[in-house]
Amino acid sequence: MRIRYFAWLKQRTGCAEEELDLPAGIDTVGDLMTYLGERHPRFAEAASGQGVVRCAVDQTHADPEVRLAGAREVAFFPPVTGG
C-alpha cells in the first residue's frame, strides 16, 4: 500500500510517500493513523489534535472508521485551504 502525505504533514513526517505492507490487525483508517504515529512521532503529535489530520482512501475522502481492505493508496493531509 502506498501512503502519501501533503502540505505540513509532509514536512512533519519527512517524506512525501512511503510503501507499506499493512500489518495484521490494521483494519481501518483510524488503526493506520495509530500505527503510523508509532513510526512518525510528529505525525502522532499532529493526529492527536482531533480533526486536524484528514484522510483519503484511493482518492476519496475517508473518516477514521473507513475500512482499508483492498485500498491501494491512502493519503493524509491537513484540512484543505484552496479556493
Query: Could you give the CA distance from residue 26 to residue 31 in angstroms, rounded to a whole number?
Result: 5
Q: What is the DSSP string of 39-57?
A: H-HHHHHHHHSTTTSEEEE
Q: Which residue is it, cell 472508521?
A: 65
Interface with another protein, residue 25, by CB under 8 A: no
Interface with another protein, residue 4, by CB under 8 A: yes
Number of H helices, E strands in the chain: 3, 5
- Give the one residue of 6, 17, 18, 26 binding another protein; rule: CB under 8 A: 6
Which residues within the stretch 26-65 sit at the binding site for another protein (CB under 8 A)?
56, 59-61
From residue 64 to residue 83, the character string flagging contacts with another protein as x (rule: CB under 8 A) and all else as - is -----------x-xxxxxxx
Q: Report the interface residues with another protein, using CB under 8 A.
A: 4, 6-8, 56, 59-61, 75, 77-83
